[in-house]
Amino acid sequence: MVDQNALKTNQVFIVATVAIAFLLGAERGLWPIALLAVCMAIGVISPGNGPIQVLYRKGLVSTGSVKPNREPGSSAPHRFAQAMGATCLGLSAMLLYLGSDLAGWALGFIVLALALVNLVFGFCTGCFLYLQLGRVRQTARA
Amino acid sequence: MDQLLVLGLVFLGITVGGYVIRLVARRKRAAAIASLQFEPDAGGQPRILSFYGPSCDACDRQKTVLSELERARPGRFSLELCDATVDYDYARQFGLMVVPTTVVIAGTGAIAAINSGFTTQAKLETQLDTA
């Protein structure tokens, strides 16, 4: 089962953090991006225990602000998408730290764009890539 | 101020661009689906074509629902299971974006419904009744 509202909370966090980081500028903005990358990486390594997921469960669900919306489905594609996002944001923070602002923001904005597309249109690019990779693996095996 | 403008333009671009792409994709998909016509069933019975994929929990649940539907309606419809990762080109004809996807085909050969994602037994029963 996949909690759609947990995924949406995650996407809102990504969009908001990258937008705020951009407004703060490269020097100060790299830290929120690095922190977000770490939070997402924890969520990938230990599913359900990432800081955003914990905040969603203990801060939003337990107070009744948001109700879980569990739908049948595999969580693996979403974890893959999150791993992709964490990697891009990690690289983005690193590039910003090294002074390559344009490349750093480009990577950050790719993650923002994909999270926004998922939030507004419900299309998960990372999940789509995961399924395509599964298909390629299957074809290679056959 | 410049940063706010860039951010606003990015948000606007993604939203407007996304809507346009979705609109075009939906129209293309609707046209492609409308052109699909299957051979009419000899007995005039509806069919369900179920697309699944490997390592997919929801697909396993969908198969269970379909088995229960077969038990509840023996001989009143036929079922075809299809691995979307193997018969990829066949799946693409239906604009398949997710697995499981179930396609309900009327006895006349026309497509009655395409369900993206897990579909309940009740919904499938309604679609079979109206097919």
pLDDT tens digits, one per residue of B71-111: 999 989 999 999 988 888 888 888 777 888 999 999 888 88
SS3 A137: helix
Sheet of B111-116, strands arranged across? B78-83, B47-52, B101-105, B111-116
What integer pLDDT is reported at residue B29 of this predicted model? 76
What integer pLDDT is reported at residue B93 of this predicted model? 80
The percent of residues in chain B predicted with pLDDT above 90, rounded, is: 36
What integer pLDDT is reported at residue A11 of this predicted model? 95
Residue A122 structure tokens: 């419900």
Residue B131 structure tokens: 């097919």
SS3 A62: coil
Closest partner CB to A109 (pick from B10, B88, B117): B10
From the list A5, B20, B121, the residue with the least C-alpha distance to B48 is B121
Long-range own/partner contacts, residues B4-11 (CB < 8 A, 24 or more apart): B4/A23, B6/A22, B7/A19, B7/A22, B7/A23, B10/A109, B10/A112, B10/A113, B11/A116
Q: How far apart are CA B118 and CA B101, in angstroms?
A: 7
Indicate left, alpha or beta for A123 from its phi (over 0: left) and psi (-120 to 50: alpha): beta
Strands (DSSP E) found in chain A? 2-3, 70-71
Q: With a threshold of 0.90, does the pTM exceed it?
A: no
Chain centroid to Cα A97, Å, comes to 21
Cβ proximity of B105 and B38 under 8 Å: yes
DSSP-assigned letters across all residues of B49-101: EEEE-TT-HHHHHHHHHHHHHHHHSTTSSEEEEEETTTSHHHHHTTT--SSSE
Cβ proximity of A51 and A35 under 8 Å: no
Closest partner CB to A138 (pick from B58, B86, B117): B86
Residue A70 structure tokens: 């569990």
What integer pLDDT is reported at residue A142 of this predicted model? 66
What integer pLDDT is reported at residue A123 of this predicted model? 84
Instruction: Give B131's pLDDT tier (boundaries 50, 70, 90).
Output: confident
Contacts A128 to B, Cβ<8 Å = 97
In chain B, residues 112-131 whose CB comes closer than 8 Å to chain A: 117-118
Name the average pLDDT for chain B. 87
Report whether pLDDT(B122) > 90.
yes
> Would you call B56 an interface residue with chain A, using a CB distance cutoff of 8 Å?
yes
Q: Residues in chain A with pLDDT < 50?
A: none
B1, B2, B7: best to mutate for the A interface, most A CBs within 10 A: B7
